[in-house]
Amino acid sequence: MISELAPLAPGVSDELRAAVQRRFETTLSELVSLASIPGIAWEAFDASELERSAKAVAELAAAAGLEGVEILRAPRPDGQPGGPAVVARRPPQPGKPTVLLYAHHDVQPPGDPALWESEPFVPEERGGRLYGRGTADDKAGVMVHLAAWHAVSETLGDAAGVGVTLFVEGEEEHGSPSFRAFLETYRERLAADVIVVADSANWAIGVPALTTSLRGLVDATVSVSVLTHSVHSGVFGGPILDAPTILARLIATLHDDEGNVAIPGLVVAADPDVDYPEDQYRSDAGVLDGVRLAGSGSVAARLWARPALSVIGIDVPSVAVASNTIQASARAKISMRLAPGQDPDAAMEALRHHVEANVPFGARVEFTPGERGSAYRADTDSPAARLALDALREAWGTDPVQMGMGGSIPFVADLKEVFPDAEVLITGVEDPDSRAHSANESLHLGEFERCIVAEALLLAALGSAEG
């Protein structure tokens, strides 16, 4: 816990900003090298590239002057080893706090190469942005931590005071299956007064944000069957509906006519104070002209304070191989985001009950639960949060937004459970056009530099505080 705050010495802010600027081209070069490694934690991809990514992060951490650099693992629930994580430290001066700096080095698969305007793993700078898989999510987060520490150590040396523990995970995009075991196994190495999670986004280019709430997550696979085997649609069509049609009718019950999630019993949180104009949302999300937005209430409330449900995959024959056949079975993967305050186990059971109660025409249905993660709400009156907001304000020259995030970072709840006295700050390098997880992912380089300055200011300010 942070007990006492003290202002930075005169001139330190300017010195930190200058240190970030002097090294920025080197930082950018290091990011390009790191983002060139296709480290993907999914079993279908080359595991050696994930190892290479971890080793590259470890080398960068050592070059930044951090000590005891290790590549560590913990077992997943199925007993298999988890992804390689990098841990490195710089001990605090007596009486000073320790900050855990979290990011992840694994990335999403690139997806359809035809959708990319440049090679996913050959980062390319265009128009002030760096394009490539992982340039924003989350190898830029790794580099913000390292570059900020470079600036602080160069400017303040031992006078920095603050202790730093770097924790760069290697399987976040695969759902962090070994995360809780990793925290339990290496609890003493990771213990900290403040935890900075660099895996979120800012409000807009030129406007920073501190993420103060996250939605939770559950997902499940729903399979429907109507026949023991597929049959000729001419000979048997009419009395029986095919499984894709049954599945479509079931999916249609998941929302009401306005597009609100129609599953009874789900939590709805209080509406946020921040407004997200509809025209800005439509532009940020790339909504086509004429498409009506779903749901009721403000856009910010629909994004951050209410459940949302998407069908993220369907298994049926593709059009390219379609035949005149009544399909016996079909399945879909359903992903549901949860409002803060929602218990994910209760949400999973609500989804299961709805699916089983609404399958049409007596079709056979199988519900297979998947991932689940808790929502999060921050205490923005905490000392560390106040320091973070001040650092963002100074780095950008404008007031930061305290924003919710429609996405989920389930491991934040694990961090709070294992380290209940630590203050968690969620920051990020993305902007509304970063397109994380999508083709043409990119990083705005001006915002990247300001993120580094803000974290350097935060670390220096924490070094002036009492732990």
Catalytic sites, residue numbers: 106, 172
Could you give the dihedral angle defined by the CA atoms of residues 11, 210, 133 and 61, in that order, rounded to the nearest 10 degrees?
A: 50
How far is residue 233 from each of residues 51, 242, 248, 324, 391, measured CA to CA in Å?
50, 9, 18, 5, 65
CB 300 within 8 A of CB 272: yes
Residue 102, burial from CB neighbour count under 10 angstroms (0-12, 13-18, 19+): buried
DSSP state letter for 464: T
Non-local CB neighbours of 389 within 8 Å, separated by 6+ positions: 210, 380, 400, 402
Of all helices (H) and strands (E), which one includes residue 71? strand 67-72
How far does CA 47 lie from the centroid of its chain?
Answer: 22
Q: If we measure between CA atoms, which residue out of 134, 156, 161, 150 comes closest to residue 34? A: 134
- 112: exposed, middle or buried (Cβ count in 10 Å: 0-12, 13-18, 19+): exposed
3-state secondary structure of 93: coil
Which two three-digit tokens encode residue 57?
């992060």
Kindly provide the b/e burial profile for residues 253-274, where b requires at least 16 CB atoms within 10 angstroms of the residue's own CB. ebbeeeebbbbeebbbbeebeb
* Closest to 363 (Cα-Cα) out of 261, 270, 228: 228
Assigned token pair, 420: 């209940």
